[in-house]
Amino acid sequence: MLNRDWLTRLRLRWGVHPLGRKEQGNREGILTLPLPSRLHVPMLQHTGQPAKPRVTVGQRVRKGEMIAARQGNISAPVHAPTSGTVIAIGDYPAPHPSGLPVLTVSIDCDGLEEWVDLDPPSDPFALAPEALAAKVAEAGIVGLGGATFPSAVKMALGLRTQVRTLLVNGSECEPYLSCDDRLMRERAAAIVDGMNLIRHAVGAETILCGIEDNKPEALAAMREAAAPFPHIALRRLPTRYPMGSDRQLIQVLTGREVPSDGRSADVGVLVHNVATCYAVHEALRYGRPLISRIVTVAGGAVRAPRNVEALIGTPARYLVEQCGGLSGESARLVMGGPMMGLELASLDVPVIKGSSGILALDASELPSATPSPCIRCGQCVTACPMNLMPFEMSARIRTGALDEAVGMGLKDCLTCGACSYVCPAHIPLSHYFNYARGELTRRERNTLRQESIRKLVAERSERLERDAREKAEAAARRKAERERAKAEADAARAAKAAAKAAEESSA
């Protein structure tokens, strides 16, 4: 039989092969960071509505205590990563390229690490799937691969739509990052247990776990841990970016394509990241909410790159300091991987649930050339995992023809950056696409706002009219009343006069 990898390579030509540079951080084991003195826990660490704080300034919280509840359907609660005192609830810089503040609960750590009373189910497999999803929701678990979509919402969706196969994403295709790699090497049994729990919670039959072939140790560890379970299959994937995008992973592992207006559940699969499986294991076996994660600290400007287990809310600066600090000036700070990560203005921002990496890149690692005109070479078309035509779309966006770009598939774009990566003209293609999508959302919001304002104006003019009418009516009524009174008075007077006259005449 032909080698499966070869078939995949022949069938699918998308993607790029960026320099991995994973060896920077994956040589040493995961380092559990010593407790920092202060944590800044943002309320918006997930896709959807921000969580609503339930603590007050000065209140003492214990480790694992819920400090903010979810709001709305798509949201996740936030827990205290350690025990201590809430010292502030207010704006604090978000780990985001805008540098804008976000509502954050700041906690002074007391060093006691005193846990809240944990209440793990004695046998999670005995619980109903719905109950498992509820526990995952309570634990504040979100997709740890970077999308940070609340996991419980995804699981509930899986239950409703009859998922046959659970796909577990261990591809970790972004360069530099090795947090999933180390997690699989060191905690494979826990991940496999988490996989089984999710399988139970979504009612899937089989589990398919894909790991890129640049992580042989992780693959071996996972194979060993999964050996007792016949329903788990491990697949070696060719190393290619963006293999870790769930649509591409589904295509490679199952041969199916998620409809453009659908979800993965529509083709009978659900994708979860290995780190999410680990978090689910922690929550359902030990009752521990998601309060820490593995973060890769790497980049040419970091002295001793490695993976660390950091509490949510730990300042990024603290992580870098614990990895030997920066050697000289770093040219760019990035949260996440280099292909899709977000530039940070400073290291004084907290680690959040979605932070897979903190990179301090030096100038030699960054793209340097300035953009030149497109020569239509089509390399972006070859690289695009969604089969779009990036160079045509960006030309439309540049001239402001956003609707044409939408017609060419702008909304299908993953903004994975493969096109920008290969472009010989150094055109910031994925930047154009993110700009265009932001602009479209903004316009949509504006239109909605205009409509609501139009409604308000209409209501006001109606009210003014009604007021005027009522006023006029009241005036008319008063006038009528006055006239009636006058008429009555006149009549009375007349009657009186008549009576008098009659009296006189009779007299």
Partner 1 sequence: MKYAAHAPHAHARASIGRLMLWVMIALTPATLYAFWLYGWPAIFLWAVTVLSAAGAEFFVLRLMQRDAARGLADGTAVLTGWLLALTLPPWAPWWVGVIGSVFAIVVVKQVFGGTGQNLFNPAMAARVMLLISFPVELTTWVGPSPLFGAGALSFVEGARVTFLGQMPLGFDALTSATTLGHVKTELTRGIDVPAALASHGQGLGASLIGLHAGSLGETAAVLLLAGGVLLIALRVIRWHIPVAMLAGVLLPAMLMHAHDPARYLDAGTHLLAGGLILGAFFIASDPATSPGTARGQLLFGFGCGLLVWVIRTWGGYPEAVAFAVLLMNAFTPVIDRYLRPRIYGHPARFARRTRP
Partner 2 sequence: MVAVLSLTGLGLLLGLGLGVAAKFLRVEQEDGRIAEVEALLPGSQCGQCGFPGCAPAAAALVAGAAPVTLCPPGGRDLVEKLAALLGVEADTAGMAETVPMLAIIEETQCIGCTKCFKVCPTDAVIGATRQVHNVLREACTGCGKCVDVCPTLAISLEPVPATLQSWTWHKPPRELPVLNAPLSTAGASC
Q: Which of residues 226-245 bind partner 1 (CB under 8 A)?
A: none
Identify which of residues 130 and 403 has a Cβ nearer to partner 1 in the complex.
403
What whole-number distance in Å separates Cα of residue 250 and Cα of residue 101?
36
Smaller CB separation from partner 2, 356 or 394 = 394
Nearer to partner 1, 230 or 373 (CB): 373
- Could you tell me what percentage of the chain is helix, strand and coil, using 3-state DSSP and rounding each to the nearest 5? 40, 20, 40
379 binds partner 1 (CB under 8 A): yes
With CB under 8 A as the contact rule, the residue among 32, 162, 372, 450 that binds partner 1 is 372
- The distance of closest approach from Cβ of residue 186 to partner 2 in the complex, given in angstroms and rounded to an integer, is 34
Per CB under 8 A, 461 contacts partner 1: no
Q: Which stretch binds partner 1 (CB under 8 A): 83-91, 189-197, 320-328, 428-436?
A: 428-436
Phi, psi for residue 24 in degrees, rounded to 5: -55, -45
Q: Minimum Å distance from CB 22 to partner 1?
A: 13
- Find tokens 């930047």 and name the residue: 431
452 is in the binding site of which of partner 2, partner 1, none (Cβ under 5 to 8 A by kind)?
partner 2
Nearest to partner 2 of 142, 280 (CB atom)? 142
Exposure pattern of 132-149 as b/e (b: 16+ CB <10 Å)? bbbbbbbbbbbbbbbbbb
- 338 makes contact with partner 1 (CB under 8 A): yes
Between 99 and 111, name the residue whose CB sits nearer to partner 2.
99
* Residue 102 binds: one of partner 2, partner 1, none (C-beta under 5 to 8 A by kind): partner 2
Per CB under 8 A, 398 contacts partner 1: no
Tell me if 374 contacts partner 1 by CB under 8 A. yes
CB 457 → partner 2: shortest distance, Å? 5
Q: Of 161 and 434, which has the nearer Cβ to partner 1? A: 434
Positions in the binding site for partner 2 (CB under 8 A):
44, 94, 96, 98, 100, 102, 370-374, 376, 392, 395-396, 398-400, 425, 427-428, 431-432, 434-435, 438-439, 441-443, 445-446, 449-450, 452-454, 456-457, 459-460, 463
| Tokens found for residue 485 | 């009174």
In the bound state with partner 2, the residue whose beta carbon lies nearer, of 34 and 373, is: 373
Residues 6+ apart with CB under 8 A from 199: 166, 205, 207, 231
For residues 54-89, one letter each, b for 16 or more C-beta atoms within 10 angstroms of the residue's C-beta and e for the rest, the string is ebeeeeebbbbbbbbebeeeebbbbbbbbbbebeeb
Peptide bond into 228 cis (omega under 30): no
Q: Which of 434, 435, 417 is nearest to 426 (CA)?
A: 417
CB of 112 to partner 1, least distance (A): 39
29, 97, 111, 216: residue in contact with partner 1 (rule CB under 8 A): 97
Closest to partner 2 by CB, 98 or 387: 98
Which residue has 């490695």 as its token pair? 306
Taking alpha carbons only, the member of 128, 139, 180, 137 closest to residue 155 is 137
Q: Among residues 124, 147, 116, 167, which one has the least CA distance to residue 280?
A: 124
Shortest distance in whole angstroms from residue 447 CB to partner 2: 8
Tell me how far apart the alpha carbons of residues 277 and 154 are, in angstroms, rounded to a whole number: 13
Instruction: Sort 228 into a burial class: Cβ within 10 Å, 0-12 / 13-18 / 19+.
Output: exposed
Nearest approach, Cβ of residue 39 and partner 2 (Å): 19
CA distances from 369 to 160, 392, 426, 468 (A): 50, 21, 7, 68
Q: Which is nearer to partner 1, 56 or 368 (CB)?
A: 368
Q: Is the dihedral of CA 248, 254, 256, 262 positive or negative?
A: negative
**Could you say which of partner 1, partner 2, none residue 439 binds, taking C-beta under 5 to 8 angstroms by partner kind?**
partner 2
CA end-to-end span of the chain: 139
With respect to partner 1, which residue has the nearer C-beta, 12 or 88?
12
Q: How far is the CB of 176 from partner 2 (least distance, A)?
A: 23
The answer to whether 5 touches 67, Cβ cutoff 8 Å, is no
357 forms beta bridges with: 296
Positions touching partner 1 (CB under 8 A) are 16, 18-19, 97-99, 175, 247, 251, 257-260, 262, 332, 334, 336, 338-343, 345, 359, 361, 365-369, 372-379, 381-382, 385-389, 391-392, 403, 406-409, 412, 415, 417, 420-426, 428, 430-431, 434
